[in-house]
Amino acid sequence: MKPVLYGYFRSGTTYRVRAALNYKGVDYDYEPVDLAGGAQSGEAYKRLNPQGLVPALKVDGGVLTQSPAILEWMEETWPEPALLPHEPILRARTRAFCAAIGCDIHPIQNLRILKAVKAMKDSDPDAGTEWARHWITVGFEALEQMAEPDAGAGGFLFGTGPSLAEVYLMPQMFNAERFGVDLERFPKLVAANAAAQSVPEFAAAHPSRQPDAR
């Protein structure tokens, strides 16, 4: 069967999986899950993914959840074109860059956390944005230093071509812009994001180009 991606146009974790599917040339169907309308907490979706989070990828044999696990499965299942370098240390540095976004930035500025922060600050409308901007900035300071100083041609972060590092970076840059993070402080990240957007398969994964975009 053709894989089915359940996701939401503006979800950063869905954006990651879309970018990787496109880059690997996988033909897939897309089922939007309306996060704004709460569809992720409905019975139907929770049968698919008990965590009530997007994305989920339905494939032969089961439903895969959690974008880091989906991306590793994709790399093992469709190894070419590769999204991880072959050299072990560079591979580990690529994955560390991804984890610094996937564990230490993205989940802290997720919708459910921003709602909780806003509730703590007596519904101050700016509380969520300030919180998100702060933690993205802290995370980007580390990422800017982790960005491979000896990256090859094309301006990509690790090695000579696009990797999971760009797959994770693009959605986080998109969020950083939404929350008004001062990106001038992070020239390496800005350059890597520009290099990533020049890859047509990655550009096609942008939230604004999805069928459920609004």
Residues that bind a second copy (CB under 8 A): 50-53, 59, 61-62, 64-70, 72-73, 76-77, 88-89, 91-96, 98-100, 102-104, 106-108, 113, 116-117, 120-121, 131, 142, 145-146
> Smaller CB distance to a second copy: residue 8 or 131?
131
Burial of 90 from C-beta contacts in 10 A (0-12 / 13-18 / 19+):
middle
Distance CA 83, CA 162 (A): 7
Residue 139 C-beta-side C-alpha neighbours within 13 Å: 27
Distance CA 107, CA 53 (A): 12
> Smaller CB distance to a second copy: residue 60 or 214?
60
Tokens of 37: 């309308």
Least distance from a second copy to the Cβ atom of residue 64, Å: 5
Burial of 93 from C-beta contacts in 10 A (0-12 / 13-18 / 19+):
buried
Q: Count other C-beta atoms under 10 Å from residue 39's C-beta.
A: 16
Least distance from a second copy to the Cβ atom of residue 189, Å: 14
Least distance from a second copy to the Cβ atom of residue 203, Å: 26
> Smaller CB distance to a second copy: residue 138 or 204?
138
Least distance from a second copy to the Cβ atom of residue 57, Å: 9
> Smaller CB distance to a second copy: residue 113 or 190?
113
Contact 64, 73 (CB under 8 A): yes
Least distance from a second copy to the Cβ atom of residue 107, Å: 5
> Smaller CB distance to a second copy: residue 51 or 198?
51
